[in-house]
Amino acid sequence: MITFEPLQPDAVRFLSVRTGGDFSGYDYTLPAFVCATSRTDDGAVTGVLMGEFTSRWEVHMTCAVDDNAIISRRLLHAIFATFFSCAVRVTAMCRPDNKRSETGIRRLGFKYEGYSRLGIEGKWDALVFGMLRHECRWIRAPKSELLRKAA
C-alpha cells in the first residue's frame, strides 16, 4: 500500500538508513515536500519517494526502495505530475559508487548533468541528473502542446 502524506518517523529512518543521509529534523508537510511511502500489510516501510521543492521551479527528488515492484507507472505518473504541476525541472543525485541508484535514475529518464564535489550533505561527491517537464515520459503532454508539435 502506498500513501501520500508527510513522512512518518519510521519512513524518515528508512530513508536515512538506505541513503546514508540525515533526513531527520525536517517538517515534511506540504507545500515544501511531496512524499510517498510504501508499506507492507503489517505496516513495515518498503519504500520512500520524496520531492523537496527547493524553489518554485525546481524539485530535488530522493528515493529509496527495497522492492522495485512498488514503482508502478501509475505511481510515477502521480509523482511526476505533482512535481511538474509547478516545477520545470527535477534534480536527482547519487554517489558515484552507487551503481544501482545511478541505473534507476537513468531508467526514470533523467539526463546526466555533471559532478558535484561534496554535493550530498557536504559529505559525499555526487553525480547530478536532471529532468525537464517536456522530457518526462511519465506525464502526458497537454493536448495544446501535442497540436503545436503536429503543426
Output the pTM of the full model: 0.85
Q: How far apart are CA 28 and CA 35, in angstroms?
A: 8
**What pLDDT sits at residue 31?**
79
pLDDT tens digits for range 82-96: 999 999 999 999 999
Ramachandran quadrant class, 49 (left: phi over 0; alpha: psi -120 to 50; beta: rest):
beta
Residue pair 131/83 in contact by the 8 Å Cβ criterion = no
Residue 135 has pLDDT above 60, yes or no: yes
Q: How far apart are CA 44 and CA 39, in angstroms?
A: 5
Q: How far apart are CA 46 and CA 138, in angstroms?
A: 22
Per-residue pLDDT band at 67 (split at 50, 70, 90): confident
**What pLDDT sits at residue 141?**
55
Domains of the chain, with CATH numbers? Answer: 2-150 (3.40.630.30)
